[in-house]
Chain A
Amino acid sequence: MENEDVKLSSDFVSSFMNAFNEELPFNPFDLGVKVFGSPEKYYSALRKTAIEVARLKTEKELKREDRYGIMLLKALDELNNSINLLENKLEDVKEIKESEITKEMEEEIRRLKALRRELEGEIERVMEKIAPNLSAILGGAIAARLLEKAGSLEKLSMLPASTIQIVGAEKSLYKAMARMKKGKPAKIPKHGVIFQHPFIRTLPKKKRGKMARFMAAKLAIAARIDYFTGELREELVSEVRRKYEELSRS
């Protein structure tokens, strides 16, 4: 008896999860009421199942979503390498002789570039979903790079603003520290990954440090909100924009 119950409910869960239909010729509600006997019973079953399915799906998603973003970015990097390499080789070959095979190589490169566009689009979409605040401030591509360098959204959310500011500039930081140890003059890098952002890049040199510091402080908050609640806070983005406008005017 108990077994049957379990079976019925798990069947219901799986049919719920597979309810991918084109537009239905009937209203699910009408069918549901027929099957369950009354609207109350139908809604009660539907709600229970929806909650069960929702729990299963969120658990699965939460475990893998930042990994997915990071892996996509790594794949994109590899793809970029391949495209560059192929393009260089193709040039070399063409210099000697154009042939059927060089045309095929060109075709292949075009395909890889189309794939690259798709990957970039998917990265934007994924980032907007898993880190809406970081994405709104940085754009999906830079946000993904920051996430990749940090290793996970959890780790990123624990970084202080001063570290976020130079994530991606570790190499030059180590170099600078090595120089200083030897008593030589050195410049501490002011910005890492986030330096790619137009709000920093387009400012005059002497204002970039200020902007990077401000942005990093907001990013530290953004990373925490993204990690803990995942909800967009519009005011964070507008504060960064306002700071940029202020700095680019003055």
Chain B
Amino acid sequence: MKAKERVKESKKILHNVYLIEKGEKRILATKSKYGSHYGEKRFGEFREWIPTRSKLAAMLLKGYRVDIKPNWKVLYLGAASGTTVSHLADIVEKGIIYAVEYSAKPFTKLIELAEERRNIIPLLEDASKPERYSGIVEKVDFIYQDIAQRNQVEIFLDNIRMFLKEGGEGLIMVKARSIDSTAEPSEVFEAVLRRLSKQVKVVAHDSLEPYHRDHIFVHVRLE
């Protein structure tokens, strides 16, 4: 390792999640026993967590925290090939992630991840049909959703209704264009927030710029 790239300082921001000063850069990383999953760098006991590839990383880098606990049970909707799931699995190392994805191709890589880790249950299912996996998924502490669908908010709420414990947390990554490709993003987001707050408590929300254009995260809680 070159001298100027040496880790200068690292700050723990969540269980197994660190902000690391490395050379001139500030990097987000998870402490991980495992190898690289999507081309991210490994250094020492860390795996770099790339904000342009993962909206959760973008949110954390922007300074917002959801206090994800190591023993949490998680329902993850829109797992794709497991980029974000791999880091979340580092965090909830004593918990479990039910990872739902409906497209077979990226899912094959998610299966590889589930084979490597012990805390991922891969489910090739459609998140808009939660009754198809309600015999498998239990009540969870946390629901995370990242699917670019027109009816993504309804999907999120349906899954919250079926699977979130009382007091549980939810995080949805919303892409304006996928809901309405012609409307102003700000209008789309307002409608989304209004719809969500009818069913759950909206704890916080913010944009994911500059990492993801026209995206926001919304943190909710079931009270």
Contact = CB atoms under 8 A, between A and B. Distances in A.
Interface of A: 16, 19-24, 27-30, 43-44, 46-47, 50-51, 53-55, 57-58, 61-62, 65, 129-130, 132, 226, 229-232, 234, 238
19 contacts: A19-B133, A21-B131, A22-B131, A28-B137, A47-B114, A47-B120, A50-B114, A50-B121, A50-B136, A54-B107, A55-B111, A62-B105, A62-B108, A130-B105, A132-B103, A229-B105, A229-B109, A230-B105, A234-B213
B132 interface: yes
B6 interface: no
A28 to B, nearest CB: 5
A28 B136 contact: yes
Contact of B114 (A16, A24, A54): A54
Contacts of B139: 27, 29
B61 to A, nearest CB: 17
Interface of B: 80-81, 96, 102-109, 111, 114-115, 118-124, 131-139, 148, 162, 212-213
Contact of B135 (A19, A57, A226): A19
Contacts of B111: 51, 54-55, 58
B178 to A, nearest CB: 9
Given A54-B111, A58-B124, A24 B134 contact: yes
Given A130-B103, A226-B105, A229-B105, 18 more contacts: A19-B133, A19-B136, A20-B135, A21-B134, A23-B131, A28-B138, A44-B118, A50-B123, A51-B115, A54-B122, A57-B104, A58-B107, A58-B108, A61-B104, A62-B104, A62-B108, A130-B105, A132-B103
Main secondary structure of the interface of A (DSSP, over half): helix
B85 to A, nearest CB: 13
> Can you list the 8 inter-chain pairs with the closest CB atoms, starting with the nearest?
A230-B105, A19-B135, A29-B138, A61-B104, A58-B104, A21-B135, A50-B121, A230-B106
Contacts of B121: 43, 46-47, 50
A61 B124 contact: yes
Contacts of A132: 103
